[in-house]
Amino acid sequence: METINRLVINAVVLALLATVCLVEAAPRDKTRKGGGVVNITCEDAGMPKGDPSLSGDKGAEVWRFARSHYNNRAEYLDEEAARIRGYNTDVVEAVCRIAGKNCFFVQDPYSHCWESPHGYDARGGIGLHGDYYEACVGWFVTKDRRRVFDFTDAFQKNVFSHFVVKTGNPNNFQYDDLTGSKIGFLESWAADEHCVNLLSDVSGLPLDESQIHYYLTQTELEAAVNADEIDAAFVTDDLAIAGNLEKNGPDIDSCLVDGVAVMVRKGSTLPSWFNPAFKKLVSTPEYEQICDDVETVHGNIPGPDKEDICINPLEAFAFR
């Protein structure tokens, strides 16, 4: 009887999610930047069958993972399939299956997971804080984020940050002297103004408010550099920067604490089943196939190669 009841409850939860995700979520706090409503789009459910030994006390519940897309092999919108695809999706789907968890993907703006609005401290987004979902997929671990949220083990390698300028550097941008320079950032990204202000051996810091310019998309950021609205952009290596831009200055390793992981609320039990399932995944041929798919399946999308994304299990778990 208990088994039947759990199955019935699970079916009801899935049905409710399928309905709820078609409507607008609760109103957003209008005092915060980007006020309005949180529009959540659900895509698909994961597969509950998996390794029984990895199933925990939430095995019958639905775990909601939020994603967005930024035209990268890790996360991109497949218009034809009408869903977000890429390495991150492939990994989370496999982990959920191995762990025997019911996983449901929703699409929501990155800023609803984490935001770094101009003039304010970086902070957690209303989507994750407000319990619209249990987790946000594809977030680098930073000091600021770790103070607010917990993370799973990283399932992508860590990367550097750097400045990029228009090819030929016609504005004579100097990475080691930012006095008067206008710098562009991607909103919600790990490479933000706060990281720049902490750089050592750089003159002209902290940046004045007039020097800081945030953009919602990579396309807008690149266009701003090319239009001379800004002198340079500060980005992470995982972005596929357009060919008419070039790196200026050294690689910077102080912005990120660890690679890409799943970000969750403090105290969440999700890492307790995600981490062992991911550790099991990376030792299988399935993970090798997921890594090959970075180039063979998702290769028409810009982004890093599998060697730059995929985790080496011997290195990743040697000291954990």
Q: How far, in Å, CA of 320 to CA of 318, rounded?
A: 6
Q: How far, in Å, CA of 60 to CA of 103, rounded?
A: 10
Helix (H) or strand (E) holding 5: helix 2-20
Cis peptide before 206 (omega within 30 of 0): yes
Helix (H) or strand (E) holding 107: strand 102-107
- Range in 1-5, 62-66, 94-98, 124-128 with the lowest mean pLDDT: 1-5
Give the bridge partners for 105, in sequence order: 65
Q: Domains in the chain and their CATH numbers?
A: 2-157+258-316 (3.40.190.10), 161-252 (3.40.190.10)
Q: Provide the pLDDT for residue 238.
A: 67
Mean pLDDT computed over 106-123: 84
Side-chain-facing half-sphere of 73: CA atoms under 13 Å: 24
Q: pTM score, two decimals?
A: 0.74
- Has residue 47 got a pLDDT over 60? no
Q: Where are the alpha helices (DSSP H) in 179-310?
A: 193-197, 218-226, 270-281, 285-296, 306-309
Q: Provide the pLDDT for residue 218.
A: 83
Mean pLDDT computed over 159-179: 94
- Has residue 293 got a pLDDT over 50? yes
pLDDT, tens digit, for every residue of 175-219? 999 999 999 998 878 888 888 998 988 999 999 999 999 998 888
Burial 234-271 (b: 16+ CB within 10 A, else e): bbbbbbebbeebeebbeebeebbbebbbbbbbeebebb
Q: What is the mean pLDDT of the chain?
A: 81
User: Between residues 174 and 78, which one has the greater pLDDT?
Assistant: 174
pLDDT, tens digit, for every residue of 9-43? 444 444 444 434 433 333 333 223 333 333 444 45
